[in-house]
């Protein structure tokens, strides 16, 4: 069984980096200067921003389905087009953290959930995908509960 982890598409967020702090604030977002690493995991590159780099902190709907599991939350976005997409690889930002993996069926209902260290996530992902009813997985950073990435079956 193989899986693919994909960062968010950078295009819907590209305009944010050109906005003033006031414009960002009027939309509920803010620019944050990174002062330590790891501390700001980008949801596009799926790696932590570097010290001295500015990132945008915004609210993002990652589970938009009209179910009890509809969910949104804060994410960091770097100014990058380097979208992480890889098969059978846990990206750096996920690998260095404890994760909450949440598996959903085709009706967007949660049918699997467990915690794992990022370095051991591949085994749990494979276990989840052994369930034929599982359609996709959302990874969350366990400490703060924020959405990290989408995990799908690889063809």
- Is the pLDDT at 144 greater than 80? The verdict is yes
Give the separation between CA 112 and CA 103, rounded to whole angstroms. 5
pLDDT score at 155 = 79
Report how far residue 54's alpha carbon sits from residue 8's, in angstroms, rounded to the nearest whole number: 18
Quick one: average pLDDT of 128-146?
A: 97
* Per-residue pLDDT at 119: 97
End-to-end CA distance of the chain: 9
How far is 97 from 34, CA to CA, in rounded Å? 18
**Cα separation, 97 vs 116, whole angstroms:** 9
Strand locations in 2-146, DSSP E? 3-6, 30-33, 54-63, 71-77, 85-87, 98-105, 110-117, 134-141
Mean pLDDT across the chain: 97
State the pTM of this model. 0.95
Q: Are 124 and 137 within 8 A, CB to CB?
A: no
Quote the pLDDT of residue 1.
64
Interval 95-123: pLDDT, tens = 999 999 999 999 999 999 999 999 999 99
Q: Is the peptide bond before 91 cis (omega within 30 degrees of 0)?
A: no
Q: What is the pLDDT of residues 79-101, one digit of tens each?
A: 999 999 999 999 999 999 999 99
Q: Where are the domains of the chain?
A: 3-153
Model confidence at 150, in pLDDT bands (50, 70, 90)?
A: very high
Residue 143 has pLDDT above 80, yes or no: yes
Q: What are the pLDDT digits (tens) for 41-71?
A: 999 999 999 999 999 999 999 999 999 999 9
Mean pLDDT to the nearest integer, 70-79: 97
Query: Could you read off the pLDDT of 10-23 as tens digits, one per residue?
Result: 999 999 999 999 99
């Amino acid at each position: 069984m193989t899986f693919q982890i994909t960062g968010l598409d950078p295009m819907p967020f590209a305009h944010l980096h050109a906005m003033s702090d006031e414009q960002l604030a009027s939309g509920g977002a803010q620019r944050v200067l990174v002062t330590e690493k790891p501390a700001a995991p980008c949801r596009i590159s799926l790696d932590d921003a570097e010290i001295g780099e500015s990132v945008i902190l915004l609210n993002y709907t990652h589970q938009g389905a009209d179910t009890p599991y509809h969910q949104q939350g804060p994410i960091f976005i770097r100014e990058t087009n380097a979208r992480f997409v890889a098969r059978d690889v846990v990206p750096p930002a996920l690998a260095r953290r404890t994760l909450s993996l949440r598996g959903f069926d085709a009706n967007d209902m949660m049918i699997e959930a467990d915690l794992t260290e990022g370095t051991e996530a591949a085994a749990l992902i494979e276990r989840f995908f052994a369930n034929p009813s599982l359609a996709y997985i959302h990874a969350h950073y366990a400490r703060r509960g924020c959405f990290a990435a989408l995990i799908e079956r690889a063809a």
